[in-house]
Amino acid sequence: MADDAIDVVVPTVGRPSLATLLWSLARGAGDARGRIIVVDDRRDGARPLPLGPGAAALGDRLVVERSGGRGPAAARNVGWRRATTEWIACLDDDVIPGGAWWRDLALDLTGLADEVGASQGRIRVPPPFGRRRTDRERGVQGLETASWIAANMAYRRTALAAVGGFDERFPRAYREDADLALRLVASGWRIVRGRRRAVHPAWPSGFWGSVRAQAGNADDALMRALHGLAWRERIHTSRARFAHHAALSVAGIVALAASGGPEIAAAGLWIAGTLRFAWQRIAPGPRSPAEVAAMLATSAAIPPVAVWHRVRGEVRARALRARAAQSARSAGRDLAPPAAVLFDRDGTLVVDVPANADPERVQPMPGARTALDRLRSAGVRVGVVSNQPAVAEGRLSRAQLAHVNRRIDRLLGPFDAWFVCCHPADAGCRCRKPLPGGLESALAMLGVPASRSAYVGDIGADVAAARAAGVRAILVPTPVTRSEEVLSAPEVARDLHDAVDRLLGRP
């Protein structure tokens, strides 16, 4: 794949707008390189996707994957892990990229600093002709100023790998992109704004669309659980109407359940509050009979539905925290810190550059130095155990390997032990992972028993070597980590900081 190629990931549930998107991408592609990876997130994929004439125009550049109806976060994870380029653009299936979108995308991403993990494009929501916007259209218009939405976003592969991609506990197209952005920023990445533009029409959502949208309150509860009480300020969004909705819901319940004076007073409060809420939504809009009717009906339904979803989300967030605490206890986070922690090199401490012979190409994984220094500050000794078969295969000299390792030591060290196996994959030596010889040799250098040690890596061979050596194993997945390796790992960390939290007993 060319260095300037950019793959594009489009999660879809089969909306007709997908055909318009693909035709726009095909028409404006010119000599742009990269594939368009459409991820079909329908539970039942029996019917063909509405790809339209754009599919033929894109030819073999169009790739279709399946994600099994697990939501846009899971679909985007399938897409970016299928991509092969360093930068991966995301578009939603209901946007229309402009004719200059490919050109502006390339300009947006050219020359960005290494610490930039994402570039946000611009969204335009066209106004209706000859009238004011409806309540639904004003809601969609908020996308024009929203922070970090994935409808027109580009991510650096290294950044996605460093934080584990999108959190698939977000089941709908709501907050999953903000959650990812907060994790990127917390890991030291910057997010910049680009110039490329895409149009997002205010597609109709039906009479009860605003009521169905209240399901997002459950995701807000998860955001608070993951990012604290100030998460709204951090993503630059206004506070929700939850207190108002809760008060109206209580008034409605009292009006139905009480009798006498309380019933009358509660009914009055509910009617007044509902009419005020409805007028706030009606006043800025076209005030057509259909709009007024929809606002009156949905303004009565929204408060109890919003409260229901919020409570449901809080219950789920509590269950997630309880499971996390139990997992922490079972994984031994509450035990004393280890005396030594060994790390895999490529893909764990530094970005994996196959057979790297150039020290200048060494790029630490985000947060690697801070994570290592936290262990050193806690009195934990650190070392590196790595397979480097490129030496035996003639693609890398021992002198070049030494220069690269010295560069890593300058950037991330000092390390207390290094052990590198240079044998080929078929040599059958005991020092090559997944066999335990390399870890055993490194621990012998440190004089630390396996029972007081841990090993952090990114693939199944790392975990297998640690288990064979009797060492605690922590897997930090990257795009090359297979799903079965994640499922079989005894302990999985989101990133290096999470791994260190586990090792130091700080969940």
Task: Tell me the per-residue pLDDT of 77-121, one tens digit each, with 9 for 90 and over.
Answer: 999 989 999 999 999 999 999 999 999 999 999 999 988 999 999
Residue 278 has pLDDT above 50, yes or no: yes
Measured between alpha carbons, how far is 155 from 147 in angstroms, rounded to an integer? 14
Residue 38 has pLDDT above 50, yes or no: yes
Tokens of 220: 């807000």
Bridge partners (DSSP) listed for residue 62: 36
Residue 140 has pLDDT above 90, yes or no: yes
For the ranges 9-13, 193-197, 330-334, the lowest mean pLDDT is seen at 330-334
Given CATH 3.40.50.300, say whether it is the number of domain 340-503. Answer: no
Residue 310 has pLDDT above 70, yes or no: yes
Task: Give span(s): CATH 3.90.550.10, the chain.
Answer: 7-204
Question: Rounded to a whole number, what is the distance in angstroms from the first to the last CA of the chain?
Answer: 40
pLDDT in tens, 48-63: 999 999 999 999 999 9
For residue 152, the model assigns a pLDDT of 96
Helix (H), strand (E) at residue 386: strand 381-387
Task: Give span(s): CATH 3.40.50.1000, the chain.
Answer: 340-503
Per the model's pLDDT, the better-predicted residue between 486 and 113 turns out to be: 113
Tokens of 312: 């449901």
Residue 198 has pLDDT above 50, yes or no: yes
Q: Which of 49, 52, 51 is nearest to 66 (CA)?
A: 49
Measured between alpha carbons, how far is 488 from 285 in angstroms, rounded to an integer? 55
Q: Is the model's pTM score more than 0.85?
A: no
Tokens of 405: 């390792």
pLDDT grade for 400, boundaries at 50, 70 and 90: very high
Measured between alpha carbons, how far is 146 from 153 in angstroms, rounded to an integer? 12
Kindly state the average pLDDT of the residues 397-422.
91
pLDDT grade for 477, boundaries at 50, 70 and 90: very high
Report for 245-254, 260-269, 338-347: range of highest mean pLDDT: 338-347
Measured between alpha carbons, how far is 82 from 169 in angstroms, rounded to an integer? 20
Secondary structure (DSSP) of 76-145:
HHHHHHH--SSEEEEE-TT-EE-TTHHHHHHHHHTT--TTEEEEEEEEE-PPPSSSPPPHHHHHHHGGGT
Write the CB contacts of 399 (distance below 8 Å, at least 6 apart in sequence). Answer: none
Secondary structure (DSSP) of 62-83:
EEEEE--S--HHHHHHHHHHH-
Q: HSE, CB side, 13 Å, CA atoms: give it for residue 31.
A: 2
For residue 1, the model assigns a pLDDT of 41
Mean pLDDT for the chain overall: 89
pLDDT grade for 325, boundaries at 50, 70 and 90: low
Contact yes or no for 199/95 (Cβ under 8 A): yes
For residue 141, the model assigns a pLDDT of 93
Residue 441 has pLDDT above 50, yes or no: yes
Write the CB contacts of 101 (distance below 8 Å, at least 6 apart in sequence). Answer: 24, 25, 28, 121, 196, 197, 198
Measured between alpha carbons, how far is 75 from 63 in angstroms, rounded to an integer? 13
pLDDT grade for 302, boundaries at 50, 70 and 90: very high
Fold of 7-204: Spore Coat Polysaccharide Biosynthesis Protein SpsA; Chain A (3.90.550)
Measured between alpha carbons, how far is 18 from 24 in angstroms, rounded to an integer? 10
pLDDT grade for 324, boundaries at 50, 70 and 90: low
For residue 337, the model assigns a pLDDT of 84
Residue 380 has pLDDT above 70, yes or no: yes
Instruction: Provide the 8-state DSSP code for 391.
Output: T
Residue 320 has pLDDT above 60, yes or no: yes
**3-class SS letters over 201-239:** CCCCCCCCHHHHHHHHHHHHHHHHHHHCCCHHHHCCCCC
For residue 488, the model assigns a pLDDT of 78
Kindly state the average pLDDT of the residues 280-295.
94
